[in-house]
Structure 1
Amino acid sequence: MAAARETLPPGTQVGTYRIVKPIAKGGFSLIYLATDDDTGEEVVIKEYMPKKLARRDRDRRVVPAGIEYAESLHHGRKLFFQEVKALASLKHPNIVRVLAFFLANDTGYMVMPNERGRNLGAYLRERKGGLSTSFILEVFIPVLDALALLHRRSMVHLDVKPGNIHLRHGNMPLLLDLGAVHPLNRGRSHGGQVITAGYSPVEQYFRAGQVGPWTDVYAVGASIRTCMDGRTPQPAPERQKEDKVVPAVEALKDRYPDFLLKAVDWSMSMEPEKRPQDAEELLVALLPHLDDPHLARMREGGAD
């Protein structure tokens, strides 16, 4: 039996692409650097291969890890295909583009451009927080604008976190891992799906939880908080039992402006109805502060 979650070896041909090397693993996918045989360009390919549900057989096909997982794997693959098709229709400068999607090895493959830059999560680990107000706004205003488009299309991302934000030249952000996106009009509006401790609000942990645009808003607030104090916030289920998250307006009042601290606390409210109800509501609250002369001086001074 092949090892679970075995990556495709370098040189493997998949469609019109040749695998160069594996570069990342997600809960539902394996991610590779590859080259396009037709153009010679480098691309990133995401292979649908959910952890625990799937393994690779001798012919490199993605098959159920056990017979009890067959139905779940088939259902997930079908949804992955449907959702990527929907995402391919999204055009936004801060949402990763879907170049192609195809089926092979009994699974699905999503092809994206290989964008040069750095990962916000990795950058945070190096810097240990303390990122400037101007840097935070420079990154998260475009991210919120991208999420606002998803929310207007009745979609939610459900896995917003620093590790899913790619920083291109000039800190222009790119929202990644759109394979986790869930259309709300397909009966998938309940929790119990993708979880990232510290960034997923409590409703995401339970099947009965009602997820929606407000779920992404919590994750944005938690991501900004991490940029400020350099550590992942307390996981939501633990907060529900004993909330140890000191409000940002208290913990960070000497380091960041009040409007930003209030926005973070608002976004990270435990009760969904007490948060901004979608990305646009939070965006509208933050946008007026971009014209703040103090922030303009910070930007001119070369923040982060």
Structure 2
Amino acid sequence: MSKTKPAPLPPDTLIGGYRIVRQLAAGGFGLVYLALDSSGQPVALKEYLPSALAVRAPGELLPVVPPEKLSLYRLGLKSFFEEGRALAQISHPSVVSVLNFFRENETVYMVMNYLEGASLQEFIVTARGLKKKKVMREATIRSLFDEVLRGLRIVHQHKMLHLDIKPANIFITDENKAVLIDFGAAREVLNTEGNFVRPMYTPGFAAPEMYKRNTGMGPWTDIYAVGACMYSCMQGYPPHDAPQRLEKDRLASSLARLRGVYSDNLIEVVQWCMATDPLSRPQSVFALQKELNREDEPQFTQPGLVDKVRWRLGGLIGGAAPAPARPSERSSFMDP
């Protein structure tokens, strides 16, 4: 089968009453278009079209799926459709709104509100380029993830998991609102089948249990990714991926470099979220919100000589990092 990516639908194609304007994005699991509804309002139209399972020639509407991959394609399609059905029931400003979902052209389309702005990933890259002491201000990180967690809590209350939280999937609108986009349910269903050839996870943001078969996932799985996103906002780049951490965990020494730059509480919250043992993480979004929103007097511990020696050695003296403890009761929404 050709490795050529499926061709996008051409402009002015009419799908389910929506007219395609242009392609906005493409990934391993489909394409996203800017489209207009019947009243001329812009919407984002997401098309299920995994590039490892299907091809589509330029100018064509129907995907072509080899017979040996048809059952897997249909399994992912069913999951994508069910994801649209579930998301359509959620109404929260921090969760992308699904306005409609329908089957056409032997695939499924999800219609979402069209957001203008940029992803958190773009903000991090821009901030990192400024080469300041802080990639993002602590007050900004706390405020941003307060919004993200409010939306994620509603998602979990609907018995859903996001499963692909990362800076590229946190959208910052022009009104400075954070919105969770691009849920990964279809990815995970395909992953459990064991035959899909592309990674189902984003290294650095995927919890250790996502790399294992038949391992229970829950709110703690998304919480790991939230911690990794906060880490990225502080460091300017993602943490090591879970397999590397399980072999030699450098998270504590990496976070130690941020002592004195960010409050002790924020550093401890990130370490708590990113515990490699799922039971050592916050078990609910509410528990994490409660800790992140503490308003006690902030404390900033300056790194000591031992910390600096550890950095030069590339890790903790004596081997693995200690298990992260629950954060102490210190926090602030303000920068020092």
TM-score range with shorter-chain normalisation? Answer: 0.7 to 0.9
Look up the equivalent residue of 2:119 and give its one-letter code: N
Match of 2:56 in 1: 56
Match of 1:99 in 2: 99
- Matched position secondary structure for 1:50: coil
> How far 1:168 sits from its partner (Å)?
1.5
Cα RMSD after superposing both structures: 2.6
Query: Is 1:152 aligned to 2:157, yes or no?
Result: yes
Q: Structure 2: any 5+ residue segments left out of the alignment?
A: 129-133, 299-330
Match of 2:86 in 1: 86
Match of 2:231 in 1: 225
Deviates more, 1:66-75 or 1:188-197: 188-197
Match of 1:28 in 2: 29
Q: State the Cα deviation string for residues 6-44 of structure 1 (Å, max 9, x = none).
A: 2112222111111111111233221111111x1111111
Q: Is the 8 A contact 2:139 2:334 kept in 1?
A: no
Look up the equivalent residue of 2:173 and give its one-letter code: R
Q: State the Cα deviation string for residues 102-159 of structure 1 (Å, max 9, x = none).
A: 1111100001111111211111111117100111011101111111112222211000
Q: Is the alpha carbon distance of 1:257 and 1:226 closer, same or farther for their aligned partners in structure 2, counting shifts above 3 Å?
A: same
Q: Is the alpha carbon distance of 1:190 and 1:237 closer, same or farther for their aligned partners in structure 2, counting shifts above 3 Å?
A: same
Give identity over the alignment, percent: 37
Match of 1:210 in 2: 216
Q: Could you tell me how far apart the structure 2 residues matched to 1:119 and 1:4 are?
A: 24
Q: Is the 8 A contact 2:142 2:333 kept in 1?
A: no
> How far 1:232 sits from its partner (Å)?
1.1
> How far 1:169 sits from its partner (Å)?
3.3
- Matched position secondary structure for 1:55: coil
Q: Could you tell me how far apart the structure 1 residues matched to 2:206 and 2:171 are?
A: 19
Q: Could you tell me how far apart the structure 1 residues matched to 2:244 and 2:35 are?
A: 40
TM-score (norm 1): 0.88
Q: Is the alpha carbon distance of 1:196 and 1:223 closer, same or farther for their aligned partners in structure 2, counting shifts above 3 Å?
A: same
TM-score (norm 2): 0.80
Q: How do 1:129-278 residues align onto structure 2 when only pairs under 5 Å count?
A: 130-178=135-183, 180-181=184-185, 194-247=200-253, 249-278=255-284
Look up the equivalent residue of 1:21 and give its one-letter code: R
> How far 1:298 sits from its partner (Å)?
5.3
> How far 1:191 sits from its partner (Å)?
9.9
Q: Aligned pairs, how many?
A: 292
Q: Is the alpha carbon distance of 1:81 and 1:228 closer, same or farther for their aligned partners in structure 2, counting shifts above 3 Å?
A: same
Q: Could you tell me how far apart the structure 1 residues matched to 2:153 and 2:282 are?
A: 12
Q: How do 1:106-145 residues align onto structure 2 when only pairs under 5 Å count?
A: 106-128=106-128, 130-145=135-150
Q: Is the 8 A contact 2:10 2:20 kept in 1?
A: yes
Q: Could you tell me how far apart the structure 2 residues matched to 1:26 and 1:200 are?
A: 17
Q: Could you tell me how far apart the structure 2 residues matched to 1:246 and 1:6 are?
A: 45
Q: Is the 8 A contact 1:198 1:235 kept in 2?
A: yes
Q: Could you tell me how far apart the structure 2 residues matched to 1:212 and 1:194 are?
A: 16
- Matched position secondary structure for 1:255: coil
Match of 1:70 in 2: 70
Q: Is the alpha carbon distance of 1:291 and 1:68 closer, same or farther for their aligned partners in structure 2, counting shifts above 3 Å?
A: farther
- Matched position secondary structure for 2:295: helix
Q: Could you tell me how far apart the structure 2 residues matched to 1:77 and 1:156 are?
A: 18
> How far 1:194 sits from its partner (Å)?
2.9
- Matched position secondary structure for 1:9: coil
Q: Is the 8 A contact 2:294 2:332 kept in 1?
A: no
Q: Structure 1: any 5+ residue segments left out of the alignment?
A: 300-304
